[in-house]
């Protein structure tokens, strides 16, 4: 795997030492997961085969059945994980290892970009149609709460769904793992700049869970070492009915064992050699907003590849920063220790 989004600095060590920034969650909704809290309806849109954080995000969501109802998993293809068939294959491996392959819908999405696909949205078939139509269908599904769209790759599928059916904007909350806001660059963003521009242009609830390579204030700070994974993950999760062949070869019957294998085949980075679980952190702060700092700002414009402040823009978005690395990883490992599988959805 090529580590496209790996940039490291010594700043990372700050979070590794546990000098996390704890932020009060005053005035926000209580975390989900309590027995009396309603579960959030979530749809995860993933470039599952890129690096190794998507897989951990998927398992974390699928094992948080007390916090989430998972409507389904849609897939997109960024340049780091092969084409859409390879991305879907990895998502299916994780679903199978989580014993939910027949219980949670999995839909292939866009190989190409928003600008390439948009002119074809009203044709009988188009690149990414299964995922795009599924997002629209689930957004309109009768429910007492908005559907949380959790894109953890490029924004293409979500932007296409909004373009095809603008009526879903009032029925969803988009929480995107991406961008180094306010700085430019970032892997998910660069994989489809026009998709980001489109979502910024539509009046839809939009939250950006920042990445911020090399800085302690983004999800780049939510890092684990190979040693931590090796100690905490072996055998974790339910046991699959039959072995699953991993993307690096070998066969596995638990997600925990596959996690160890993924970490054995990835290049570590950082002052303390480690990997960030960017995508998992995004799912974690949906579960418990107190694990990061939430700021509402006028929606900026993305001009070229750089953000321009939207100081007078009446439309606002949310920016998430300052992740509580220790609390998020403690919950991740606790979830792996005692998984509560999400409820099956009628397929």
By CB under 5 A, name the binding residues for Ca ion: 47, 54, 152-153, 279
| Residue number, 2 or 145, with CB nearest to Ca ion | 2
Mark 43-82 as b/e (b = at least 16 C-beta within 10 Å). Answer: bbbbbbbbbbbbbbbbbbbbbbbebbbbbbbbbbbbebbb
In the complex with Ca ion, which residue's Cβ is closer, 196 or 299?
196
Which of 149, 166, 2, 168 lies closest to 74, judged by CA? Answer: 149
Contact 195, 156 (CB under 8 A): yes
Pick from 145, 224, 209: nearest CA to 179: 209
Query: Minimum distance from CB of 311 to Ca ion (Å)?
Result: 31
Smallest gap from residue 174 Cβ to Ca ion (A) = 15
Say which residue the tokens 């149609």 belong to: 129
Query: Torsion-angle region of residue 250: left (phi > 0), alpha (psi -120 to 50) or beta?
Result: left
Name the nearest CA neighbour of 131 among 151, 108, 149.
Answer: 108
Nearest to Ca ion of 39, 92 (CB atom): 92
DSSP class per residue in 58-115: HHHHHTBTTTEEEEEEEE---TTS-SHHHHHHHHHHHHHHTT-TTTS-EEE--SS-HH
Q: Which of residues 211 and 240 has its CB atom nearest to Ca ion in the complex?
A: 211
Smallest separation (angstroms) from Ca ion to the CB of 108: 16
CB 280 within 8 A of CB 60: yes
* Cα–Cα dist 83/88, whole Å: 9
Our CB check for Ca ion shows the closer of 126 and 176 to be: 176
Q: How far is the CB of 152 from Ca ion (least distance, A)?
A: 4
Please report which residue ranges of 254-342 form alpha helices under DSSP H: 255-264, 278-287, 325-337
User: H/E element holding 161?
Assistant: helix 156-164
CB of 34 to Ca ion, least distance (A): 28
Quote the least distance from Cβ 331 to Ca ion, whole Å. 19
- If the CB atoms of residues 44 and 136 are measured against Ca ion, the closer one turns out to be 44
Of the pair 152, 209, the CB lying nearest Ca ion is at 152
Q: Give Cα separations from 256 to 90, 94, 344 (angstroms).
A: 15, 10, 21
> CB–CB of 110/76 below 8 Å?
yes
Closer residue to Ca ion in complex, CB, 54/165? 54
The two tokens of residue 25 are 């969650």
Residue 47 or residue 207: which is nearer to Ca ion going by CB? 47
* Shortest Cβ 278–Ca ion spacing (Å): 7
For the CB of residue 191, give the shortest distance to Ca ion in the complex, in Å: 10
Per the CB < 8 A criterion, the answer to whether 259 and 247 are in contact is no
Rounded to a whole number of angstroms, the minimum distance from the CB of residue 165 to Ca ion is: 25
């Amino acid at each position: 795997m090529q580590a496209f989004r790996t940039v490291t600095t010594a700043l990372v060590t700050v979070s590794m030492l546990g000098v996390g920034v704890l932020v009060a969650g005053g005035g926000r909704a209580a975390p989900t997961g309590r027995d009396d809290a309603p579960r959030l309806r979530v749809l995860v849109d993933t470039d599952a085969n890129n690096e190794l954080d998507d897989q951990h995000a998927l398992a974390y969501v699928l094992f948080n059945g007390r916090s989430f109802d998972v409507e389904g998993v849609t897939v997109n293809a960024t340049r780091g994980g092969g084409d859409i068939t390879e991305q879907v294959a990895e998502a299916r491996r994780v679903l199978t290892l989580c014993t939910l392959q027949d219980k949670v819908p999995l839909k292939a999405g866009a190989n190409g970009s928003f600008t390439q696909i948009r002119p074809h949205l009203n044709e009988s078939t188009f690149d990414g149609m299964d995922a795009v139509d599924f997002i629209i269908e689930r957004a309109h599904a009768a429910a007492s709460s908005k559907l949380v769209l959790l894109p953890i790759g490029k924004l293409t599928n979500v932007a296409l769904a909004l373009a095809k059916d603008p009526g879903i904007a009032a029925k969803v909350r988009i929480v995107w793992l991406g961008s180094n806001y306010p700085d430019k660059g970032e892997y998910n963003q660069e994989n489809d700049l026009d998709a980001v521009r489109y979502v910024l242009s539509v009046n839809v609830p939009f939250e950006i869970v920042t990445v911020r390579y090399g800085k302690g204030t983004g999800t780049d700070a939510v890092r684990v070492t190979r040693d931590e994974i090796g100690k905490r993950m072996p055998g974790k999760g339910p046991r699959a009915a039959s072995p699953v062949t991993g993307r690096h070869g070998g066969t596995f019957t638990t997600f925990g064992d596959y996690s160890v294998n993924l970490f054995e085949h990835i290049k570590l980075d950082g002052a303390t050699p480690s990997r960030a679980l960017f995508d998992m952190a995004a799912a974690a702060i949906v579960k418990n907003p107190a694990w990061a700092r939430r700021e509402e700002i006028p929606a900026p414009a993305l001009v070229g590849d750089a953000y321009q402040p939207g100081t007078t823009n009446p439309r606002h978005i949310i920016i998430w920063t300052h992740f509580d690395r220790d609390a998020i990883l403690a919950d991740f490992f606790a979830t792996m220790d005692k998984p509560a599988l999400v409820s099956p959805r009628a397929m």
